Amino acid sequence: MTATGVNSWEKDGSRVILAGENFNVEIEAFSDKIINIYASRGEEKSFSQAVVIKPKPVSLKVKEGEECLSVTTGTVKLKVNKENFSFTLSAEPFLLEGKELVVEENIKSCSLRIREDEHFYGLGERTGFLDKRGKRYTMWNADCYRSYVEGADLMYQSYPFYIGVSPTGSYGLYFDNTFKSFFDLGKTHPDMVTFGAEKGPLNFFLIYGPTIKEVVEGYTEITGRMELPPLWALGYQQSRYSYYPQERVLEVAREFRKRDIPCDVIYLDIHYMDSFKVFTFDQERFPDPKGMIKELKEMGFKVVTIVDPGVKVEGDYWVFKEGLAKNYFVTDEDGLVFTGKVWPGRTAFPDFSREEVRAWWAELHREFLEIGIAGIWNDMNEPTLVDTSLPEPPISTLPPNLVHKGDSRPMRHEEFHNLYALNMALATRKALLKFKPQERPFILTRSGFSGIQRYAAIWTGDNRSYWEHLKMSIPMLCNIGLSGEPFCGADIGGFAEDTTEELLIRWTQVGVFYPFCRNHTNLDTIDQEPWAFGKKAEDICREFIKLRYTLLPYIYNLFYRAWQKGTPVFRPLVFEYEKDENCHNISDEFLLGDSLLVAPVCEPGQAKRMVYLPVGEWIDWWSGELFKGGKYYVADAPLERIPLYVKAGAILPLTEPQNYVGEKPWEVKFLLFPGGVRGEYVYYEDDGASLDYQKGIYNLYRLTYERSGAMIKFTWAPIYKGFAGGQKVFKLVFKGGQGSEKVWVNGQEVEVSLAGKDREIFLKA
């Protein structure tokens, strides 16, 4: 609790500045629901690169009472206790009562009271279960290869953002500080959240919901949203450390086609390079990368190559020579280039804080992109140092005092560290936009910070082929999605150590629902391609990978929603059912969008599992059986199945599976599942590849239905038509088990043809 109080205050448009004895607090409304709070000793306010929100004009009202000053936006009210500078946040109709917020006197941290019934989500990539109450985390990007366990404090990425959820409503808090910071969510004091940092400003945003959905919308208004990915990047992807030589890469690709297993992408890990030197090819292993890429393209494969930030220190290596001559590498305070060990031995690190360096880095991609490499995978970009000449190599990062020259002002590494990967992604994006201006960029990154969703997909780094890591991937991806990054996945099969037949099957069954769907494994592990364990595993993996391709129109539409509102693709149940107590810490089920519920098997030998279905009705995907929600069931889960449910009455756009995206045009069918009285679906379509959608070249259709007695009335209409190349005729399929006899579309009765138990009609675009 602070001793000093508010001495005076002044209002300036949508800002109120409160002056205290030891510090000032500025309250600025960015919208009706988004409030920025900045405590300082008079230093000018600025935001980190994560913040892209533009303030909307908000009329702030300030009322002064005897003890309190109340600042109101219309939706949110902040009551400031003049005695001690504590804030109480409230909003109608839900009262976030008890949300007293105290700025500590040293203005390095802030505390908020936790409600008894409060749960915490967000914080990005974190191990452990879904609800983060009682945990403490440090925000400092680090290679967590050895500490990838439940209690891990540091992870590859940092998102200083959490969501507090209680029955009275949800709010979010984003702490805009890029130094090493912490969040203590009731670990040290069970009834207090404390967040802060040793250095950098105490500058944060409060985001009022009142639903989780609206909090995520607000947070992604602050830190930005992802653009639409190229459709091929939603296909199944295959990787290993490393496929080489080039003949092996082609062989893997041919296996996929021969075995009728869909796949869109093959990755080249570090062994494609000459002595791990970035932007080179090993001439012996890959004598003709261009020819290889062409051959892969003919089979429908894209190639994504790894590019690490470390540049090998070697006198006549052109990238090193250029970077050195132009003074593009990170230096110490005396201006000497810093070097540390990574895969190639001694390396120097580009100073991505500068536009000039990012432009240079982008240019270095020219040849790669010109020979047809489709996307870039940025790794080791925490950045990580690892001396592989030692038996148990210590893993570390750059020292805090190194200098990044910056575009507007220099920063020490301690301030830029968490932004290093974000800026590397920015440079990579520049490359893709420069050399493939007609194509949507695809970047995969291991490290990142809030805002990384604007540039890259992320994967959760070096997990292990452990059942517990399969299980952990679910709450981890749920919380990453809630932290504004919809395009995320974990290495299917597990990265480190040897997978097993059963684990690969179970992991593939979950992995096909990951927004980013890639199987990847470590050096020296046994093979884990879908066919690596024989026919049984191969058949099951094939079926599930095909299921992903069937679901692609639905999945792509979820990405459209992510682009529009930041809505996660992979969602915890609590996202849709936040009032349902049972959903608050479900870590072993998830929703893909709002209509599919997946209950994977995460333990060996399990052929049944408990499934919680939230309120409403749910249809078993495999049997079509209808289940009442709000209950637990014991579901069958033989090796070839995982429990999968569709929300009753949902409309899902699906298509026939194909070998790869774009092999044939989609023939999208809308499946209407039984059970709903009324429903709606908005369908988005575009060319799936170019940036034209940003100029409005896309289509949006709305389908609605209403059932009464034996009649079902449909409406089908374009909401927006900007794309001439869209599908011309769609099928609408009434899944079996629906009683309606008469179908009306846009006010006209239509003939319903019989196709098995399902009935279908045609809808013209």
Q: Which is nearer to ligand GLC, 269 or 485 (CB)?
A: 269
Q: Min. distance of Cβ 269 from ligand GLC in angstroms?
A: 5
Residue 216: closest CA among 562, 567, 475, 593: 567
If the CB atoms of residues 306 and 505 are measured against ligand GLC, the closer one turns out to be 306
Q: Is 382 annotated in the active site? A: yes
Considering the complex, what minimum distance in angstroms separates the CB of residue 306 from ligand GLC? 5
- Looking at beta carbons only, is 395 or 615 nearer to ligand GLC? 395
443: contact with ligand GLC by CB under 6 A: no
How many CB atoms within 10 Å of residue 457?
26
Q: Does residue 568 have a cis peptide bond before it, meaning omega lies within 30 degrees of 0?
A: no
- Determine the angle formed by the axes of helices 535-565 and 501-511, rounding to 10 degrees: 30
In whole angstroms, how close is the CB of 122 to ligand GLC at the nearest point? 24
Whole-number minimum distance, CB 637 to ligand GLC, in Å?
A: 30
Least distance in angstroms from the C-beta of 328 to ligand GLC: 23
Q: Which is nearer to ligand GLC, 130 or 304 (CB)?
A: 304
The Cα angle at residue 429 between residues 400 and 276, in degrees rounded to 5: 65
Q: Which is nearer to ligand GLC, 239 or 567 (CB)?
A: 239
Is residue 97 part of the annotated active site? The answer reads: no
Annotated catalytic residue within 264, 379, 414, 685: 379
Between residues 359 and 523, which has the closer beta carbon with respect to ligand GLC? 523
Restricting to residues 657-686, which ones interact with ligand GLC according to CB under 6 A? none
Beta strands in 352-454 (DSSP E): 375-378, 385-386, 395-396, 403-404, 411-412, 443-445, 448-449
Nearer to ligand GLC by C-beta: 48 or 305? 305
Task: Report which residue's Cβ sits closest to ligand GLC.
Answer: 241
CA angle 303, 309, 311 (to 5 degrees): 105
Residues 169-228 that bind ligand GLC (CB under 6 A): none
In the complex, least distance from residue 471 CB atom to ligand GLC, rounded to whole angstroms? 20
DSSP output for 80-121? EETTT-EEEEEESSS--TT-EEEE-TTSSEEEEEPPTT-EEE
Least distance from ligand GLC to the Cβ atom of residue 520, Å: 6
Residue pair 195/225 in contact by the 8 Å Cβ criterion: no
Q: Which is nearer to ligand GLC, 99 or 520 (by Cβ)?
A: 520
- Report whether 443 contacts 456 (CB < 8 A): yes
Q: By C-alpha distance, which of 263, 233, 228, 234 is closest to 555?
A: 234
User: Least distance from C-beta 285 to ligand GLC, angstroms?
Assistant: 15
CB of 461 to ligand GLC, least distance (A): 5
Shortest separation between residue 241's beta carbon and ligand GLC, angstroms: 4
Complex with ligand GLC: residue 463 or 658, whichever CB lies closer? 463
The one catalytic residue among 131, 415, 462, 589: 462
Q: Does 485 bind ligand GLC (CB under 6 A)?
A: no
Q: Does 461 bind ligand GLC (CB under 6 A)?
A: yes
Among 159, 232, 241, 531, binds ligand GLC (CB under 6 A): 241
Phi, psi of 216 (to 5 degrees): -65, -35
Q: Which is nearer to ligand GLC, 445 or 509 (CB)?
A: 445
Residues numbered 369 to 408 that lie near ligand GLC (CB under 6 A) are 379
The count of residues interacting with ligand GLC (CB under 6 A) is 9
Give me the residue label for tokens 């896309």. Answer: 698
| Helix, strand and coil percent figures for the chain, each rounded to 5 | 20, 30, 50
Question: How many other CB atoms are there within 10 angstroms of residue 423's CB atom?
Answer: 26
306 lies in the binding site for ligand GLC (CB under 6 A): yes
Identity of the residue, 270 or 637, whose beta carbon is nearer to ligand GLC in the bound complex: 270
- Full strand arrangement of the beta sheet holding 339-342: 311-312, 345-348, 339-342
CA distance 719 to 682: 9
142 touching ligand GLC, by CB under 6 A: no
For ligand GLC, the closer CB: 276 or 563 = 276
Q: Of these residues, 217, 227, 382, 414, which one is catalytic? A: 382
Amino acid in the structure at residue 79 = K
Q: Cβ of residue 288: shortest distance to ligand GLC, in angstroms? A: 23
Q: Cis omega before residue 242 (within 30°)?
A: yes
Taking the CB of residue 20, how many other CB atoms lie within 10 A of it? 23
User: Taking CB under 6 A as the rule, does residue 289 contact ligand GLC?
Assistant: no
Cis? peptide before 245, omega within 30° of 0: yes
How near is the Cβ of 379 to ligand GLC at its closest, in Å?
5
CA distances for 585 relative to 125, 150, 164, 474, 588, angstroms: 17, 15, 13, 12, 9
Distance CA 734, CA 308 (A): 50
462 catalytic? Reply is: yes
CA–CA separation, 496 vs 267, rounded Å? Answer: 17
Q: Which of 462, 538, 588, 589 binds ligand GLC (CB under 6 A)?
A: 462
What minimum distance in Å lies between the beta carbon of 344 and ligand GLC?
11
The amino acid sitting at 649 is G
CA distance 679 to 671: 12
In a 10 Å sphere around its CB, with 0-12 CB exposed, 13-18 middle and 19+ buried, how is residue 433 labelled? middle
Site for ligand GLC (CB under 6 A): which residue of 144, 252, 270, 357?
Answer: 270
By beta-carbon proximity to ligand GLC, the closer residue of 523 and 634 is: 523
CA distance 206 to 261: 47
Torsion sign, CA atoms 401, 404, 408, 414: negative
Backbone angles phi, psi at 462, to 5 degrees: -85, 80
Tell which one of 28, 214, 221, 269 touches ligand GLC (CB under 6 A).
269
Asked if 424 interacts with ligand GLC (CB under 6 A), we say no
Interface pick for ligand GLC out of 135, 446, 464, 584 (rule CB under 6 A): 446
For residues 715 and 748, what is the distance between their CA atoms, to the nearest angstrom?
10
* Among 399, 304, 411, 401, residue whose Cα is nearest residue 352: 411
Helix (H, G, I), strand (E, B) or coil at 703: strand
Binding residues vs ligand GLC (CB under 6 A): 241, 269-270, 306, 379, 446, 461-462, 520
Residues annotated as catalytic are 379, 382, 462
